[in-house]
């Protein structure tokens, strides 16, 4: 038996993302009629990271399919931090750029704190990633703000799938500013009892196994095993880890698995932070791919529309 023969209900992020896109389509059309132009996203892509190239291409494709505009600015691997800040300043000052996305990671040559400096420089009203300190502060205080896309998409998915958040015990593994911390805040605002875990958490499997909702965002392939999961729990896998070792893929998924067949065709596969065997004990589980990834892009587009509407209301 392969690990793919499992019982957990699949939480379909692709279907949820499609619903989000259809919800915002009328808002895009209404904004375009009022403003005489479509909502527009300014994108900065620095360096040549292959994953970033794919992410940006997918974001631009999804934007165009909804009738939105995007403006991609590229910088070489050798660019300085000042070059990035100059583009952000141009986007900030623009009357037609409603949202700003700076694709991570930035080149190492820009410095260890480059991303923080760039996020700090983005105008809060155009900060569609929700990383500017002003938006982070508003999120903590449960005030209207542009919230980070991945956590927002996860909340939307849980609601769509009828997962009860209020009163639930939620555990988030990972404390990043991009996913872990804002995820905890959004769950807390929905009246979950939230624990954030990390590499120094004592008895991490035991703490995680108390969760009704478990969010894995640690960036380590198949790290969350069955012992981390309470039977029947809802498990959200945020991880996107590339595996290039055939033996590792076979050990994780089994000799007759679809993942191994995909590896043999492509030479690599993507898996999450959750071990595939978790599907045999969890009540519901997001797949990788097809889970959180599509939600992130859909929420980015939704945030861009919200930013455009907000700017129009102030005009």
Active site residues: 59, 103, 129
If you ran DSSP here, which 8-state letter would residue 290 be given?
S
Nearest CA-CA partner of 287 in 238, 246, 250, 254: 238
Around 256, how many Cα atoms within 13 Å sit in the side-chain half-sphere?
4
Helix or strand or coil: residue 196? strand
Do the strands 269-271 and 241-243 form a parallel or antiparallel pair, or are they unpaired?
A: antiparallel
Helices (H), the chain: 13-35, 50-65, 81-93, 114-121, 133-140, 149-160, 180-189, 204-208, 246-253, 258-266, 292-314
Q: Could you tell me if 56 and 103 are in contact, meaning their C-beta atoms sit under 8 angstroms apart?
A: yes
Beta-carbon contacts of residue 81 (< 8 Å; ≥ 6 apart): 110, 111, 114, 117, 118
Provide CB contacts within 8 A for 31, sequence distance 6+. 38, 39, 305, 308, 309, 312
Specify the 3-state DSSP secondary structure of 145: coil
The CA distance from 116 to 270, in Å, is: 28
Name residues whose C-beta falls within 8 Å of residue 260's C-beta, 6 or more positions apart in sequence.
Answer: 246, 249, 250, 253, 254
Give the DSSP H/E element, type plus range, for residue 175.
none
Residue in this structure with the two tokens 């978790």, named with its chain if needed: 278
Burial (CB count within 10 angstroms: exposed 0-12, middle 13-18, buried 19+), residue 117 = middle
């Amino acid at each position: 038996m392969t690990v793919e023969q499992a019982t957990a209900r699949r939480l379909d992020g692709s279907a949820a993302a499609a619903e989000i896109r259809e919800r915002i389509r009328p808002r895009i059309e209404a904004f375009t009629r009022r403003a005489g132009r479509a909502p527009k996203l300014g994108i900065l892509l620095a360096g040549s990271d292959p994953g970033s190239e794919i992410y940006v291409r997918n974001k631009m494709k999804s934007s165009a399919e909804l009738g939105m505009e995007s403006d991609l600015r590229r910088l070489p691997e050798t660019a300085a931090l000042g070059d990035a800040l100059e583009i952000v300043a141009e986007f900030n000052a623009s009357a037609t750029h409603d949202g700003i996305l700076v694709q991570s990671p930035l080149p190492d040559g820009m410095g260890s704190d480059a991303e923080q400096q760039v996020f700090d420089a983005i105008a809060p009203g155009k900060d569609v990633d929700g990383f500017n300190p002003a938006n982070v502060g508003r999120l903590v205080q449960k005030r209207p703000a542009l919230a980070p896309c991945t956590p927002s998409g996860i909340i939307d998915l849980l609601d769509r799938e009828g997962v009860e958040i209020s009163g639930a015990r939620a555990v988030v593994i990972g404390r990043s500013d991009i996913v872990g911390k804002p995820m905890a805040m959004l769950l807390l605002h929905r009246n979950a009892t939230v624990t954030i875990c990390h590499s120094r958490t004592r008895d991490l499997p035991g703490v995680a196994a108390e969760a009704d909702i478990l969010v894995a965002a640690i960036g380590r392939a198949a790290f969350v095993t069955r012992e981390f999961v309470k039977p029947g729990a809802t498990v959200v896998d945020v991880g996107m880890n590339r595996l290039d070792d055939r033996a590792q893929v076979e050990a994780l998924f089994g000799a007759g698995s679809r993942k191994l067949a995909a590896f043999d065709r492509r030479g690599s596969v993507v898996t999450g932070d959750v071990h595939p065997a978790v599907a045999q004990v969890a009540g519901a589980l997001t797949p990788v791919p097809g889970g959180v990834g599509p939600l992130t892009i859909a929420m980015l587009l939704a945030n861009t529309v919200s930013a455009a509407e907000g700017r129009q209301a102030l005009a």
